[in-house]
Copies of this chain bind each other. A is one copy, B any other.
């Protein structure tokens, strides 16, 4: 064995076949035209040489030569493959993998990004971002500056989850939480509820605003009056207090984890769910239940969101940046209501 087997290159193939490196490249890429012509005999000879060797094109060189590489980046602001995040990321990653397989792309996970303030940093000195043709961004709350810079640099990317940056038009695929939230509010009204508590976190993400917007609208129109309760550190006692204070017959929680915390706190306070008070989550509820009851909330098509995001990214990659303004780069998918068993007609307590 030779001490250092360098990779077999086009030049090597060329030497074997007795042609130039250019010719090898032309054969590999099936180039032919008035400018460049290669007779079948030569073509065959080169192909033979390639076949007998173990030649594979060096992707770095391809990339440097300006070609796309069929590599799409995946950036997550938190670890993506940990057991805890699997609940959220799992369906998304699955959708991404399937779509990537479909279109023949490899996936580059930027696991190396240095962590600052508990979040990964997209841009840093040695980022391999540019090795990818484009990038999918995942995460509950993204960095607005990152998004702006990506837009400015005309780097193809798609955010998963709705964004509404004012500084730049960010491509995204998300879920239509406005319609879903609205649907759940109407359902509650149908069941006779008029007074509710909205338990939410302090965060200010676009999707959080979407939900809150509908809550506020319902309150202002008098359809269903909500008392907002912000919780920090998963301390939902204030929410329970608000219910105990009377009046409210239903609790809406911003997400399912919060709903579970509330359910636990209610049980501890001796408040019977759902007979004394109903509960619904404004998030995905599949796989979650409250004391054996199916939690009322949403079913969100996350695999589909991921797949659409990847398709959109592919489209961006394939389109010259100056034509992007003509594309429809912001997409919301419909979810469905899970009526569940924790949102019941008001007055069931009797």
Q: Which residues of A contact B (CB under 8 A)?
A: 1-5, 7, 54, 56-61, 63-64, 66-71, 79-83, 86, 90, 93-94, 96-98, 100-101, 104-112, 114-115, 123-131, 149, 152-156, 316-322
Contacts and interface: CB of A to CB of B under 8 A. Distances in A.
Contacts of A60: 59-61, 63-64, 69, 130-131
Contact of A81 (B83, B94, B123, B126): B94
A156 B128 CA distance: 20
Given A83-B94, A153-B54, A318 B111 contact: no
Contacts of A152: 5
Contact of A2 (B57, B124, B127, B320): B320
A130 B56 contact: yes
Contact of A4 (B111, B123, B131, B322): B322
Contacts of A63: 60
Contacts of A93: 81
A5 B112 contact: no
Given A2-B156, A97-B109, A106-B108, 9 more contacts: A1-B67, A5-B154, A54-B153, A58-B64, A59-B131, A79-B97, A79-B98, A101-B115, A104-B112
